[in-house]
Amino acid sequence: MRVVTWNLWWRFGPWEARQKAILSVLRDLRPDVVGLQEVWEFGGENLAAWLADELGLHWTWAPYRAPERWQRRIGGEKVDVGNAVLSRWPVVESEAIRLPAPDDLDDGRIALYARLAAPGHHVPFFTTHLTSAAHASAVRCQQVTILAEFVAKHRDGTDFPPVITGDFNAWPDSDEIRLFGGYRTAPPVPGQVFMDAWELADPAAPSATWDAANPYVAAGFGPSARIDYIHVGAPWPGGLGHVRAVRRAGDGPVGDVWPSDHAAVVAELASAE
């Protein structure tokens, strides 16, 4: 099973050209399931719907819960933004929850759940987008606690471990990533742990998903970092969900345009097929 997570940077920069570049990358990847963040909807058009139609995939989408805060960032244009799941298999159930944040940081970010009717086993799949403020580690700790509880609510009824994707806006050694993983500190939900797929990858492979080589990132003069994740619940019964490989994608220009300010993460998981 090929899983992708990718923050698509909404409608910033040369977004129309970027949209075509995003499609090109995903078409080449041929994913089974994709978790997307910063997906726009405007005037009856939805980026996730367009991508799903072009790729022949099922889809579901949920908007962030404070659209006015996002719209101010783009000059007041009445564009909604949210998370989405694209899937090779039907989405048989979905739910979104708002993540907690103090008023000054609350832009309505969410976690989105989709249960996928994959052959052999349903897959409980999640994608999320945590608060981005550099100083907000404590807020993100609250958010991953709610996320872990949300996963626990929806993970049962299948042998396939939950798959959690998204832009966590946090470095791998941060309190929030350690807390969510639950194997280097006490987990938010007792007995529930999640493996960071990158920890099973080649340690020498490029892993920064927020990369100063990207001109959209370089403009902010910040450091490169790995802030986008694919987590898989453990243990893996019979090897289901075991992470076989991890890499980046969308980490260079397509023609003369970079697809997003984030690189995608791609993981190969053992499945029933």
- The string of DSSP codes covering 136-158 is -HHHHHHHHHHHHHHHHHH--SS
Handedness of CA 76, 215, 168, 91 (dihedral sign): positive
Specify whether the CB–CB gap between 80 and 42 falls below 8 A: yes
- Determine the Cα–Cα distance for residues 83 and 125; give it in Å rounded to an integer: 12
What are the sequence ranges of the domains in the chain? Answer: 2-269
Q: Which two tokens stand for residue 140?
A: 């993100």
| pLDDT attached to residue 272 | 67
| pLDDT attached to residue 273 | 56
Identity of the amino acid at 194: F
What CATH number was assigned to the domain covering residues 2-269? 3.60.10.10
Beta strand extents in the chain (DSSP E only): 2-7, 33-42, 45-46, 58-63, 80-87, 91-98, 110-116, 123-129, 163-167, 193-196, 228-234, 243-249, 264-269
From the list 220, 199, 221, the residue with the least C-alpha distance to 267 is 199
Average pLDDT over residues 257-263: 98
Respond yes or no on whether the N-terminal peptide bond of residue 203 is cis (omega within 30° of 0). Answer: no
Q: Does pLDDT of 265 surpass 70?
A: yes
- Determine the Cα–Cα distance for residues 61 and 114; give it in Å rounded to an integer: 10
Q: Which two tokens stand for residue 40?
A: 């726009």
Give the pLDDT band of residue 203 (cuts 50, 70, 90): confident
Q: What is the pTM of this model?
A: 0.97
- Determine the Cα–Cα distance for residues 150 and 250; give it in Å rounded to an integer: 29
Q: Please, which residues have CB within 8 angstroms of residue 232's CB and are 6 or more apart in sequence?
A: 161, 162, 163, 164, 194, 195, 197, 241, 242, 243, 267, 269
Q: How far is CA 77 from the centre of its chain?
A: 25
Identity of the amino acid at 273: E
Give the pLDDT band of residue 24 (cuts 50, 70, 90): very high
From the list 212, 229, 256, 260, the residue with the least C-alpha distance to 40 is 260
Specify whether the CB–CB gap between 87 and 114 falls below 8 A: yes
Average pLDDT over residues 61-85: 91
Q: Does pLDDT of 209 surpass 60?
A: yes
More confident residue, 100 or 76: 100
pLDDT, one tens digit per residue, over 123-163 is 999 999 999 999 999 999 999 999 999 999 999 999 999 99
Average pLDDT over residues 207-215: 97
Average pLDDT over residues 204-208: 92
Average pLDDT over residues 58-65: 97
Average pLDDT over residues 237-265: 95
CB atoms within 10 A of CB 220: 10
More confident residue, 208 or 221: 208
- Determine the Cα–Cα distance for residues 35 and 73; give it in Å rounded to an integer: 23
